[in-house]
Amino acid sequence: MVELGVDGPARFHYLPTTEDDRDAMLQTIGVGDVDDLFADIPSDYRNPGLDLPGPLSELELRRQMEAFAGRNRHAGEYACFLGAGSYNHFTPSIVRALITRGEFLTSYTPYQPEISQGTLQATYEFQSMICSLYDMEVANAGLYDGASALAEATLMACRVTGRSHIGVCNTVSPAYREVLETYCLPQGLEVHDVDPDASELHPETACLVAQYPNFFGYLEDMERYRNISDAVRALLVVSADPVAMAMLKPPGSFGADMVTGEGQALGLPMSYGGPYVGLFSTRQALLRQMPGRLAGRTTDRDGRPGYVLTLSTREQHIRRERATSNICTNQALMALAATVYTAAMGKRGLRQVAEQAYHKAHYAAERIAALPGYGLPLVGTFAFEFPITCPAPAGEINSHLLEHGIIGGLDVGDRFSNGMLLCVTEVNTREEIDSLVDALAEFKS
């Protein structure tokens, strides 16, 4: 850590170099003083004064942090109908019991396979489960989250096709779209909006990006997306909800080239938005262009199974110009939680979660649509989420719901008049849904 001095010399608290070492380095790069390295930053902004309170004892600090935490409103305290990318699912206690074991709690990247067989096997199982859910041939060890996984898929599509145009359905999550654009900007890639009813794509499109179910919870025609992609030799990239895949036809069966997703629903708490784990899968033919890491299974000379890091296509491991990404790590502990959850739930248990959420969401939608002043603006089939139109802006509705102990939905007034996006999961009881409906009916603008 370097603390820049305005009037005096810089002070080095943690660097083990000596004054002579630093002078030699400065001389080598042709700089007279450390402050010269920061000359582009106006001096008034280099070390601004910080209005910090005085120090506290550990006991005082703990009380203060508990007071701050007590001001939060969370899904364990309220009935929650907020989704839009982070979902309130039930997590069996076995998940925390296993991932907090000492051998897993600090799981990072298993560089030394001889002492990391447990972590490597869990990663291998994680990849296998993602392939099974998405009906794809190969999956990696996990990326940061669903948004960055989708963005990495679009970059991969551009590498594979040699093209620079990306078509994104306007029903993809706005947050995902922003991350995707951030990734594409420095690469000089062009991102285009695509209407779900579009019959053709830009002839130089590298990939078409769709969400399944889409941001509003509805199902779109993936086979048609495959056909219009094929017409211009573009790849099809799908961001899919892994829980919904337990009861829906998986994207691999539609011919998707890459399938990504957010793994938070697989046993991870909402946690204010993270840490989560991004899911990434593709076809075997595209394996070498896949970002991140891949754990593989082999046998030793005695025929016993063993696990190793098979592929690491980032610049830390190979020549920078050949790297597929600069993903700095995999989400090993989060991937482990998702693996334990999926294994504990099993194929039938995960399907029951999806079916319960589906039926409860449709019950809620039917009751809300019958209320005066409310409606369902979209026609079609939805899974666990659905937008509604309200008699007043979503912010006013949500304030009213909070007074009744209910966390409402996301404000989507930019897409629908007084629109709100609601989510129902297996956690929501019939009583909670009925209370939501009653509270909406009581609202007076």
Q: For residues 230 and 86, state if they share a domain.
A: no
Average pLDDT over residues 163-168: 97
Per-residue model confidence (pLDDT) at position 60? 96
Tokens 């002492």 belong to which residue?
A: 115
Is 400 domain-assigned?
A: yes
Whole-angstrom distance, CA of residue 263 vs CA of residue 144: 10
Q: For residues 267 and 323, state if they share a domain.
A: yes
Is 65 domain-assigned?
A: no
**In the predicted structure, residue 11 carries a pLDDT above the cut 60:** no
Is 332 domain-assigned?
A: yes
Is 51 domain-assigned?
A: no
| Higher per-residue pLDDT: 117 or 341 | 341
Is 210 domain-assigned?
A: yes
Is 72 domain-assigned?
A: no
Per-residue model confidence (pLDDT) at position 353? 97
Q: Which of 192-201, 243-252, 430-439 has the lowest mean pLDDT?
A: 192-201
Per-residue pLDDT of 70-88, as tens digits, reads 998 888 889 999 999 999 9
How much of the chain exceeds pLDDT 90, in percent?
71
Q: Of 308, 341, 374, which residue is a domain's last?
A: 341
Contact 259, 134 (CB under 8 A): yes
Q: Who's near 330: CB < 8 A, 6+ residues apart?
A: 109, 123, 140, 141, 142, 143, 292, 293
Whole-angstrom distance, CA of residue 437 vs CA of residue 226: 39
Q: 107: pLDDT confidence band, cut at 50, 70 and 90?
A: low
The CATH number that applies at residue 234 is: 3.40.640.10
- Strands 410-411, 406-407: pairing is unpaired
Q: Of 301, 318, 341, which residue is a domain's last?
A: 341
Q: For residues 363 and 352, state if they share a domain.
A: yes
Q: For residues 121 and 240, state if they share a domain.
A: yes
**In the predicted structure, residue 35 carries a pLDDT above the cut 60:** yes
Which DSSP letter does residue 314 get?
B
Q: For residues 306 and 420, state if they share a domain.
A: no
Q: 167: pLDDT confidence band, cut at 50, 70 and 90?
A: very high
Total number of domains in the chain: 3
Q: For residues 152 and 183, state if they share a domain.
A: yes
Please choose, from the candidates 119, 140, 142, the residue with its C-alpha nearest in 3D space to the C-alpha of residue 306: 119
Per-residue pLDDT of 141-157, as tens digits, reads 889 999 999 999 999 99
Q: Who's near 52: CB < 8 A, 6+ residues apart?
A: none
Q: Is the previous residue joined to 213 through a cis bond, with omega within 30 degrees of 0?
A: yes
Burial class (CB in 10 A: 0-12, 13-18, 19+), 87: buried
Per-residue pLDDT of 356-366, as tens digits, reads 999 999 999 99
Per-residue model confidence (pLDDT) at position 1? 43
User: How many other C-beta atoms are found inside a 10 Å radius of the C-beta of residue 439?
Assistant: 19
Q: 8: pLDDT confidence band, cut at 50, 70 and 90?
A: very low
Is 328 domain-assigned?
A: yes
Which DSSP letter does residue 416 get?
S
**Residue 30: C-alpha distances to residues 10, 27, 50, 368 (Å):** 18, 5, 33, 70
Q: For residues 178 and 265, state if they share a domain.
A: yes
Q: For residues 24 and 122, state if they share a domain.
A: no
Q: For residues 217 and 302, state if they share a domain.
A: yes
- Sign of dihedral through CA atoms 387, 376, 355, 351? negative
Q: For residues 295 and 331, state if they share a domain.
A: yes
Per-residue model confidence (pLDDT) at position 2? 47
Whole-angstrom distance, CA of residue 262 vs CA of residue 187: 24
The overall average pLDDT reported for the chain is 91
What is the DSSP track for 370-413?
Answer: TSTT-B----S-BSSEEEEE-SS-HHHHHHHHHHTTEE--EE-T
Domain extent, residue 385, equals: 79-90+347-442
Contact 334, 262 (CB under 8 A): no
* Alpha-carbon Rg for the chain in angstroms: 25
Q: Of 315, 341, 367, which residue is a domain's last?
A: 341
Whole-angstrom distance, CA of residue 191 vs CA of residue 104: 40
Tokens of 423: 């989510």
The CATH number that applies at residue 437 is: 3.90.1150.10
Average pLDDT over residues 403-414: 96
Per-residue model confidence (pLDDT) at position 5? 47
Q: For residues 368 and 432, state if they share a domain.
A: yes
**Residue 433: C-alpha distances to residues 3, 108, 270, 362, 422 (Å):** 55, 41, 20, 11, 11
Q: For residues 84 and 98, state if they share a domain.
A: no
The model's pTM? 0.86
Whole-angstrom distance, CA of residue 26 vs CA of residue 18: 12
Is 229 domain-assigned?
A: yes
